[in-house]
Chains A and B, each alone.
Chain A
Amino acid sequence: GAGVSQSPSNKVTEKGKDVELRCDPISGHTALYWYRQSLGQGLEFLIYFQGNSAPDKSGLPSDRFSAERTGGSVSTLTIQRTQQEDSAVYLCASSLEGQGITGELFFGEGSRLTVL
């Protein structure tokens, strides 16, 4: 497709389980971002990739959260030992420009995570 694709769209898991969320950015977009949208915290930045490198991972809430990007394309956000406070919608975005003047971020529809 032409847009940012995220999977799964919905994930229900039990507390303590690990989850992986996938993002497939727009082809050719070098910058990739993960954001989290939750009722209590609003929209929060998690991590930024330029190519396969993550120069800014300052928004990851704890060491249970990690992300990688391979081939300058697909990214996976992994949450280990999930907690109920991890319940949120995880949004991925990509952009042509990752440095300098901020270009438009193109967002996916998100992965809704519910931790029981």
Chain B
Amino acid sequence: AQSVTQLGSHVSVSEGALVLLRCNYSSSVPPYLFWYVQYPNQGLQLLLKYTSAATLVKGINGFEAEFKKSETSFHLTKPSAHMSDAAEYFCALDFGGTSYGKLTFGQGTILTVHP
């Protein structure tokens, strides 16, 4: 069975500080991994995805994530937080190779950015 665990349901940072949102996964086959962001009263938007190419993946809005197989992790980072980054972030997993968009999501992490 595959699963995704996001460590920390709430993360609070100061504007300009490093953002680090943690995601660990469990999968019996090489996974595809994603980070989605959800702003209030909006649908989910893809930030970035890992599909077995480069292990360091760059996404939109200055976010990036690194796939570490040995640690089964796919943490999301941004060097300098902006007020507009406040949202809920979801890590998600899909089976590589036989995938078709059936995503397994983590529980989400709400990011608060304060001045």
Contact = CB atoms under 8 A, between A and B. Distances in A.
A18 interface: no
Given A42-B108, A104-B49, A48 B43 contact: no
Contacts of A99: 100
B103 interface: yes
A98 B43 contact: no
Interface in A28-55: 31, 33, 35, 42-45, 48, 50, 55
Contacts of B51: 101-102
Contacts of B92: 43
Contact of B43 (A31, A101, A107): A107
Contacts of B100: 31, 48, 50, 55-56, 98-100, 102
A56 B95 CA distance: 14
Interface residues of A, number: 30
Interface string B81-115: 00000000010101000011111111110000000
B27 interface: no
A102 B99 contact: yes
Of B34, B49, B90, B99, chain A has the most CB atoms within 10 Å of the CB of: B99
A100 B45 CA distance: 21
B17 to A, nearest CB: 27
B51 to A, nearest CB: 6
A114 to B, nearest CB: 15
Given A42-B108, A107-B43, A93 B101 contact: yes
Interface of A: 3-4, 31, 33, 35, 42-45, 48, 50, 55-56, 91, 93, 95, 97-110
10 contacts: A4-B43, A48-B102, A93-B44, A95-B101, A102-B99, A102-B101, A104-B49, A106-B43, A108-B43, A109-B42
A-B pairs with lowest CB-CB distance, top 4: A107-B43, A43-B105, A102-B99, A107-B44
Given A43-B105, A45-B104, A106-B43, 8 more contacts: A4-B43, A44-B105, A48-B100, A91-B44, A102-B101, A104-B46, A105-B101, A109-B43
